[in-house]
């Protein structure tokens, strides 16, 4: 229905019912049904396809979801080395005083 409202430039703030909007368009529910049917057909094509459009509509990513946190062994070792270096710098500062 939003499509017909947009074509006729009828705002939702105007508080027009859907039937009033269809009367303004000089059509009945047949136009609404046609638009809805075509939207559903298009959606069906997208769901059967395996492209970027399918990913955008479903939001599903193929593959397994990892159940554990990733191993950050390399990052942890680097952080520990940095902490040791900082401690050494602090010790040097104490000697200078």
| Distance (Å, whole) CA 21 – CA 28 | 10
Question: Domain extents for the chain?
Answer: 2-9+16-58
Alpha-carbon Rg for the chain in angstroms: 31
Which residue matches tokens 């492209």? 51
Residue pLDDT, tens place only, 1-32: 777 888 888 887 888 887 888 888 877 677 77
Q: How confident is the model at residue 85 (pLDDT cuts 50, 70, 90)?
A: low
Contacts 24+ apart (CB under 8 A), 68-76: none
Helix intervals (H) in 25-72 = 29-48, 52-58
* pTM reported for the whole predicted model: 0.35
d(CA 45, CA 70): 37
Are 46 and 57 in contact, with CB atoms under 8 Å apart? Answer: yes
Is residue 75 over pLDDT 60? no
């Amino acid at each position: 229905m939003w499509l017909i409202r947009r074509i006729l430039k009828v705002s939702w703030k105007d508080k027009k019912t859907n039937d009033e909007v269809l009367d303004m368009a000089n059509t009945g529910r047949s136009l609404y049904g046609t638009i809805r049917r075509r939207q559903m057909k298009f959606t069906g094509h997208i769901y059967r396809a395996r492209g970027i459009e399918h990913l955008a509509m479903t939001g599903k990513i193929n593959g397994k979801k990892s159940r554990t946190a990733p191993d950050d062994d390399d990052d942890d070792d680097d952080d520990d080395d940095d902490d040791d270096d900082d401690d050494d710098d602090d010790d040097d500062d104490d000697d200078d005083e």
